[in-house]
Chain A
Amino acid sequence: MFEARLGQATILKKILDAIKDLLNEATFDCSDSGIQLQAMDNSHVSLVSLTLRSDGFDKFRCDRNLSMGMNLGSMAKILKCANNEDNVTMKAQDNADTVTIMFESANQEKVSDYEMKLMNLDQEHLGIPETDFSCVVRMPAMEFARICRDLAQFSESVVICCTKEGVKFSASGDVGTANIKLAQTGSVDKEEEAVIIEMQEPVTLTFACRYLNAFTKATPLSTQVQLSMCANVPLVVEYAIKDLGHIRYYLAPKIEDNET
């Protein structure tokens, strides 16, 4: 038996919005420690890793480890039927081939439940090695989303260059070039507006805008985003989900072709 209950459907909605552009379907691995999801996009360039801790739920019960393969489009459709303030409960029997999602209005007057078929997904789990990143940048999530959106107009790829002074995002294409520099915030008054850079070594890496823009769909989940970079290693973009867990995106860099 698996049962997980969240006070507000809006969080689950936002989580789905944050992953459904990259993934068509994915497996939610449930255990007594919480819910995990790890999946690569179709072209195996990026990876989504979602962790929801059991203690972040209002109620959480998982007797046997359970893998629920879901079509994320269908799941998003069901969540559209919920009001933001509704309670949401996910339920499944052990070895079940369906999951039940139940919404209860705050005053308990309206209860709706939806049953969705589960899928058996052929999934590859990737082992992600621990990395000592050369640069870790924390910045407002809104700012990052804005930068990615703006630079995507200039080029397919964006260069992120991180030094002690700050972090620079640049793109160049047929139209011309664009550079956006962010300096480290001097005094931190409001934590959510700060730009903080921890650097061991300067790093310059190139990434595809398309994926960065897909990652920024998670912006509503968190005020801050953390970018971790290291030469020749995938970028990690992390959004914390308050009191519940986090969502991490990994993106393989673009490199100069050196085979000639």
Chain B
Amino acid sequence: MGILGLSKLIADLAPQAIRESEMKHFFGRKVAIDASMCLYQFLIAVRSEGAQLATVNGDPTSHLMGMFYRTIRLLDNGIKPVYVFDGKPPDLKSGELAKRAERREEAEKALKAATDAGDDAGIEKFNRRLVRVTKEHAKEAKELLTLMGVPYVDAPCEAEAQCAALVKAGKVYATATEDMDALTFGSTKLLRYLTYSEARKMPVKEFSYDKLLEGLSINNREFIDLCILLGCDYCESIKGIGPKRAIELINTYRDIETILDNLDSSKYTVPENWNYKVARELFIEPEVANADSIDLKWVEPDEEGLVKFLCGDRQFNEERVRNGAKKLMKSKQAQTQVRLDSFFKTLPSTPNASNAAKRKAEEAKKSANNKKAKTSGGGRGRRPK
């Protein structure tokens, strides 16, 4: 799932690329949301007394509950969401998917063991691990979104890639997902924790692609190679190369080919038939629908339709659904506050400020080097064990 350790690497080496702010500061922005990720979160998190919310027949409705209220919350804050659904997984992902299936099997076994042992905590834990988003869930979610007047996009392949394409085409401001590979696909802005529940009080983290490349002093191709080295969903990574080593290698050799030529093969084993090239292609030119042809429209919600869809068998409280629909209406009618950045253009930073920034970056580098020296020393000490 995503890129291993990327967010930590960015926080350590390019902290200027991350900005934390409250949700309300994003008002007036359109964001593309990875729907599959969202549904998965809701299925896991939206529960009462450990059990999923369900219809009279026992089909889960947690995802609908989550989708309904989180979307309302976004719109209430003036954010316009567009949901992007996954299409078929790329062939390269089969390895990763097989691994996930394996883990499910393990979880299933563990669940059985826990049930036999009567271990309640264990049952709950493994039950959650067995959650998966099915086509049926996605279909229901789409139906709900249509009734709410919120647009969605069916990605031909990976949702993150499609989100990134929408951002690049200027259709939306950012991608909201927890999955860092949206950055690898070149999404200029990535928002984390945007769809988290209000109760968790998580500030929204905004990652800027440009500042990130600047901070790591690499270009977009090198960044893709870096992500492959860190470990992505599409191919294996080289054992023994962690985030620190990966960025060092990229900084010295600039691409995977050169790294492989110079890599000490006695120390690191490169996976057999390592198809990093295909993975790289996938990141550079993912299969996406042309963003320019996608028309995003937010329309008025269908209150009666919502009540019919959610109340009946799905056992939602009618009053709450109607209240929700009213909120949707209100956010639709309110005049929109424009942001100043749509009138005034950002100037390139003054030489004064950029000098100061450079100085600071150099200092940061120095202190990072010191730290590195210390930690590598510690590593050496540990190895003999």
Q: Which residues of chain A come closer than 8 Å to B299, judged between CB atoms?
A: 260
Total number of residue pairs linking A and B with CB closer than 8 Å: 93
User: Nearest Cβ distance between residue A23 and chain B, in whole angstroms?
Assistant: 13
* In the complex, chain A residues whose CB is within 8 Å of the CB of B360: 120
Q: Is the CB of A234 within 8 A of B343?
A: yes
Task: Decide yes or no whether A206 CB sits under 8 A from chain B.
Answer: yes
CB contacts (< 8 Å) of A234 on chain B: these are 340, 343-344
Interface string of A200-241 (1 = CB under 8 A from B): 000000101000000000000000000000000110000000
Number of A interface residues at 8 Å Cβ cutoff, please give it.
Answer: 36
CA distance A120 to B354 in the complex (A): 10
Check A124–B346 contact: CB distance below 8 A. yes
Residues on A with beta carbons closer than 8 Å to the beta carbon of B346: 124-127
Inter-chain contact B353/A67, CB cutoff 8 Å: yes
Of A37-45, A85-93, A102-110, the one contacting chain B is A37-45
Once the chains bind, are A126 and B338 in contact (CB under 8 Å)?
A: no
- Given B297, B300, B335, B345, which contacts A206 in the complex, CB threshold below 8 Å? B335
Q: CB-CB contacts of A25-64 with B at 8 A, as 1s and 0s?
A: 0010100000000001011111100000000000000000
Q: Give a binary string over B301-341; 1 marks a CB under 8 Å from any A CB, 0 the rest.
A: 00000000000000000000000000000001001111111
A257 near B25 with CB under 8 A, answer no
In the bound complex, do residue B298 and residue A259 qualify as a contact, i.e. CB atoms below 8 Å apart? yes
Looking across the interface, which residue of chain B has its beta carbon closest to that of A30? B352
Q: Which of A4-12, A140-148, A179-187, A246-254 contacts its partner? A: A246-254
Counting CB contacts under 8 A, is B21 at the interface?
Answer: yes
Contacts of B347 in A (CB 8 A): 124-127
Q: Does A157 touch B at the CB level, under 8 Å? A: yes
Q: Which single member of B297, B340, B349, B350 contacts A259 (CB below 8 Å)?
A: B297
Chain A positions within 8 Å of B16 at CB level: 122
A175 at the interface (CB under 8 A from B): no
**Residues of B with C-beta under 8 A to A112:** none
Please list the residues of chain B having a beta carbon within 8 angstroms of any beta carbon in chain A: 16, 19, 21-22, 24-25, 27, 297-300, 332, 335-347, 349-350, 352-353, 356-357, 360
27 contacts between A and B (CB under 8 A): A29-B352, A40-B340, A43-B27, A44-B25, A45-B340, A47-B340, A67-B350, A67-B352, A120-B357, A123-B349, A124-B346, A124-B347, A124-B349, A125-B346, A126-B346, A127-B345, A127-B347, A129-B344, A208-B337, A233-B343, A252-B339, A254-B338, A255-B335, A255-B336, A256-B335, A259-B298, A260-B299
